[in-house]
Amino acid sequence: MSFTSLNFLLFITVFSAGFMALARTRAFTPFLLVASYIFYGYWDYRFCGLLALSTFIDFYCGLKIADSPDRSTKKMYLFISLGANLGMLFFFKYYNFFADSAEIALASLGVEIGRRTLDILLPVGISFYTFQNLSYGIDLYTGDVKEPERSLMRYATFVAFFPQLVAGPIVRARDLLPQIQQRPREIPFEERFAGLEKVIWGYFLKIGLADNAAVVVDARFHQPEFFNALQHVIGLVCFSLQIYGDFAGYSLIAIGLAQIFGYTMCENFARPYFATGMRDFWRRWHISLSTWFRDYVYVPMGGSRTRWLRIRNVVITMLISGLWHGANWTFVLWGAMHGGLMLVEDGARRLAAASPVRLSGPMLAAGRLVMIGLVFMVVTLTWLPFRADSLQTVWTILGIIGHGDFGLQQGNQQASTLIRVAVAGLIVLLVDALVERGAGRRYAGTNVVARSMACSALILVMLLFGSFANHAFIYFQF
């Protein structure tokens, strides 16, 4: 079920009551497991079977990897785990894409193979829990996780842990499994309250910012021909805000909920639109995924030991990252653009390092602002293929922007929606800027009553400006 549905409100109320009654008992882990499967199965009960199968395979392989006396047997079970996980992911997410692409490629060579695609339902969150399972097997093999989990129930609870099951953050076994093993820890009230604040801020990002921006964006991508260059530029900026609000909002709700119940999860977003470069952007955007790719793809391929390895590995990693997001050439293009931009930045850094000019003081601050603006613009442009449903749409919109009609059309029916986006966007910008400047720690020391009032104010703004049309979270499709 979605965090923004009324069903979830009912679910979390019942779960909280169960948590308060059972948290200190042996019944809590089974309760958490059942609750997580109910949460996940609410979309489609059939998804639970795949989740259970994936869980069982990795649990079994994990035990075998840990207990096998020799390296070759360990490796065999690691490959079984990798094969099973990637096989499932390929079948459910990529089969149709590759079959379709092959069909088109062969047709262009004059070879007709007929329709080979299948009518497959993509299980929600499969990319997330597959990567979580993969990291468990690999960490056991490399020794980053010393001991396997020997309780199937605890391992299944780790995989299905409901706050992060569907759209992350992708939590590693070494971080979350010990917390599942020990049951929820007793945490100070301030920490729980901070969790509540994260949840409320997450909802604001989703309902206040992302879902309002979605109205503007959807209209433009549905019928791009009906909008001029200015409207498409506005649409792209709105999509930048939408995807940030949507995904960072989901992550914050997940992290905040876990924190309220005594679990700690890693930060997933760190004000990415304040990044001063592409490297910096990827240190701030979807942190759990970018560190996953760094640790399990980029570094094992040789990382940046040489300049050529760096170029090769950045390109491969970003292309895989693009493909991870979706089975479409648009995502591949998005990954390629990011890979290219990172390499361009590498070159610029080398040039800057060789330059005798050194900025300092106000010039440095101004330079940082310029870079923030530049990175935002570039990242916004890369969101075009990410949002478009086909390369044809990408070219259409680029053509319209290139045409250069930046006239302001009167009678714009979306003016009031744009005002909502602007209001929510300014609040988010202000809060993020304050946190970026270190105000978060000072705020954490503020009286709880005052912080409760701030939360109330945020909810009131949401009531007045939020979009309650219940748009699905974007990352559910991945």
Partner 1 sequence: MYRLLACIALILATVTAMDRVLASALGDLLLRSSDRFMTVYRPFEAEAQPAIDPGANPGGKPGIKPPAGQEEQPNALLVKAALTTQPRPTTAVKPANGPADVLVLGNSRADNHFPVSALQDMTCGRALNLGMGGAPTVLSALLWDDYVERHGAPRLLVLEPTGLVDNPHDLADLPLLAYYSPRIDAFVRQENQELWMANHAFNLMTFNNNQTMRLIAGLLKPAADRTLVGAIPDPMKAQLAAAPEETMTADAANWQALDHIIASAQAQGTRVAVVITPYFPTYAGKLKNFDAFFADLKGRLPAGVTVIDARRAVDKDELFMDALHVNEDGVRAMFAAMEPDLRPLGSCPVDALASLSGTGNTTH
Report the interface residues with partner 1, using CB under 8 A: 19-20, 189, 192-193, 196, 223, 225-226, 260, 409-411, 413, 415-417, 419-420, 448-449, 452-453, 455-456, 459-460, 463-466, 468
Secondary structure tally for the chain: helices H, strands E: 21, 0
The answer to whether the beta carbons of residues 337 and 385 sit under 8 Å apart is: yes
Residue 183 CB, shortest distance to partner 1, in Å, is: 14
Task: Return all residues near 280 (Cβ < 8 A) that are at least 6 apart.
Answer: 375
Q: Give the whole-angstrom CA distance, residue 224 versus residue 237.
A: 15
Task: Return all residues near 298 (Cβ < 8 A) that are at least 6 apart.
Answer: 313, 314, 317
In this complex, which beta carbon is closest to partner 1, that of residue 286 or of residue 420? Answer: 420
Amino acid at 269: F
The answer to whether the beta carbons of residues 137 and 61 sit under 8 Å apart is: yes
Residue 477 CB, shortest distance to partner 1, in Å, is: 26
Catalytic residue among 325, 338, 403, 471: 325
Residue 453 CB, shortest distance to partner 1, in Å, is: 6
Residue 9 CB, shortest distance to partner 1, in Å, is: 12
Q: What is the 3-state secondary structure (H, E, C) of 216-228?
A: HHHHHHHCHHHCC
Active site residue 325: yes
Task: Return all residues near 387 (Cβ < 8 A) that are at least 6 apart.
Answer: 217, 221, 239, 243
Q: State how far Cα 33 lies from the chain centre.
A: 23
In this complex, which beta carbon is closest to partner 1, that of residue 357 or of residue 415? Answer: 415
In this complex, which beta carbon is closest to partner 1, that of residue 142 or of residue 409? Answer: 409
Q: Give the whole-angstrom CA distance, residue 196 versus residue 259.
A: 8
Q: Active-site positions?
A: 325
